[in-house]
Amino acid sequence: MLEKLNIIPVGIDHKVCPQYLLNAAIESWDRALLLGENYGYRNAQTTLIAPTGTISFVMDADTTGIEPDFALVKFKKLYGGGYFKITNRSVIPALRNLGYTDGQISDIIKYMLGANTLKGAPYINDLVLKKKGFTEEDIQKIEELLPSVFKIKFAFNVHILGKDCVERLGIKPEQYNSPTFDLLTSLGFSEAEIDVANEYICGTMTIEGAPHLKEEDYAVLDCANKCGEKGKRFIDYMAHVKMMAVAQPFLSGSISKTINMPSEATVADVQKVYMESWKLALKSLALYRDGSKSIQPLSTTAEEKQEVKVVYKPIRRRLSDERKAITHKFRIGNQEGYLTVGLYDDGTPGELFVTMSKEGSTLSGLMDSFSTSISIALQYGVPLKVLVNKFVHSRFEPSGWTDNPQIQVAKSVMDYIFRWLALKFLPQEEVSQVGFNLENTVKEDMESRNQPVENSVVAQKFDMQSDAPACNDCGNLMVRSGSCYACTACGTTSGCS
């Protein structure tokens, strides 16, 4: 079966395995076999490689086992919020073993990690900031934070400097409270100037392009992901699989290791990883595609979207101080009242006032509060159609006959108010959608919603169907017939006619 699939069972290759390692492997399994024959086998596995990425933090190591480092410079998300910067400490001894001098190593590290100070930085430095209004205390707060940030703009914010400092610099609260606020840009620094200063202070977070470093030595410092925004190199994901395949024959159990895949990896790439892992006889497999989670424990770049929570903030469209309005007198049963609708310049409603005659203080307060709520909803962009849908057919006293030929019967004050608003301000097609259905005899190409005859037909149909049930036989909406209901589609009645 294996030969048909062109699969060769994987084991320790005696020809390429170092003799000391081969001897140790044979000896350990000879002892395991002997002990098992004498005492029996109890555990399913005796040797394995534990979770290397996790325990490396506990061991204060860059990485352990066969796991490559995630990146030379990375940041870890903290459980309680925020991040801290992690740098690979193996770079210096690695460069030293490669034959670089202390002076060359110092230049390479500065290129990777930056100067971590404002002093001497191009464009954005302590001298320039003092001229813009920063105090020594302000600059000291920034200096203390620089070694731990990925971008200098994260050290220039109101949470670090305080409101007094930001307002002293001429920034207003509505500016610095915005989720997209950038203090450096607000102070007049261009994006190009910020980028140059950022590279000097925080570094490039990669060794690619570093002074003195030979290109043939890049591979020694390759990581599981691209390093920084400038980095292009990374260990191919299939190299992870092959490294696990080399280690697997020495283990009875599995290898706890993540195969890191770039964000552009496809479904086909994932299928290839699983198939090759099966062919190479791996006992377990875990892979992670970079960026597949909105929040991940480790990242190689500190993008603003991870530092700033962008929250949608609706904008209130207020009416002008002088605005046109429509006042409408109505009667429901024995109760009279007035509706006043304030209008925007385009004629759409933006506020509502309801005044009821002979009202008590409680009803007056409720109507004022209700009117204010509707007004605010309209000004924040809630469509009138949505409000109409919510309030028409509300049933409570006072209710009854009205003087309006378009709305002959109202189930409540709210029912009347929103039916009147619908007829007055909604297009005819939207009026139909919220329950104001036209008779089949009415022309479909009506040009105006204010034609009294057509609106009367709409109102009559609405009054006849507003609380009608669906027909039990055909499902069509029934209409009132006396004290019962009749179906105009199939002729079924509810029993009275």
H or E element at residue 278: helix 267-279
Give me the number of domains the chain comprises. 4
Whether residues 34 and 64 fall in one domain: yes
Of 279, 310, 341, the domain-final residue? 310
Of 141, 172, 202, the domain-final residue? 202
pLDDT at 13: 84
Whether residues 432 and 347 fall in one domain: yes
- Dist. CA 191–CA 184, nearest whole Å: 9
pLDDT at 184: 94
Is the residue at 209 inside a domain? no
Whether residues 342 and 473 fall in one domain: no
Whether residues 366 and 458 fall in one domain: yes
User: CB under 8 Å to 436, separation ≥6 — which residues?
Assistant: 419, 422, 423, 458, 459, 461, 462
Whether residues 426 and 481 fall in one domain: no
Whether residues 477 and 386 fall in one domain: no
Question: What six digits make up the tokens of 89?
Answer: 């400490």
Is the residue at 108 inside a domain? no
Mean pLDDT, consecutive 10-residue segments, the chain of 497 residues?
46 87 89 88 76 71 82 77 79 95 95 94 94 94 90 89 92 87 92 94 93 95 90 93 91 86 90 93 88 67 45 78 92 90 92 82 85 93 90 86 90 92 87 51 36 46 54 66 71 66
Is the residue at 245 inside a domain? yes
- Dist. CA 485–CA 497, nearest whole Å: 8
Tabulate helix, strand, coil % of the chain (nearest 5): 40, 10, 50
Residue 462 CB-density burial (10 A; 0-12 exposed, 13-18 middle, 19+ buried): buried
Whether residues 25 and 61 fall in one domain: yes
Whether residues 356 and 422 fall in one domain: yes
Is the residue at 68 inside a domain? yes
Token match 């086998």: residue?
Answer: 41
Q: Are 145 and 155 in contact (CB under 8 A)?
A: yes
Whether residues 462 and 477 fall in one domain: no
Is the residue at 42 inside a domain? yes
- Dist. CA 205–CA 214, nearest whole Å: 17
Whether residues 271 and 351 fall in one domain: no
Is the residue at 102 inside a domain? no
| Sheet containing 335-343, strands listed edge to edge, beginning at the edge strand earlier in sequence | 325-332, 335-343, 349-356
Is the residue at 294 inside a domain? yes
Whether residues 337 and 460 fall in one domain: yes
- Which residues face 409 on adjacent strands? 401
Q: Are 333 and 400 in contact (CB under 8 A)?
A: yes
Question: What six digits make up the tokens of 184?
Answer: 């450096």
Domain that holds residue 27: 1-88+223-310
What is the reported pTM?
Answer: 0.54
Between strands 286-289 and 258-261, the pairing is parallel
Whether residues 62 and 167 fall in one domain: no
Is the residue at 100 inside a domain? no
The stretches of 17-162 forming alpha helices (DSSP H) are: 19-39, 52-58, 91-97, 102-113, 126-131, 136-145, 158-161
pLDDT at 477: 63
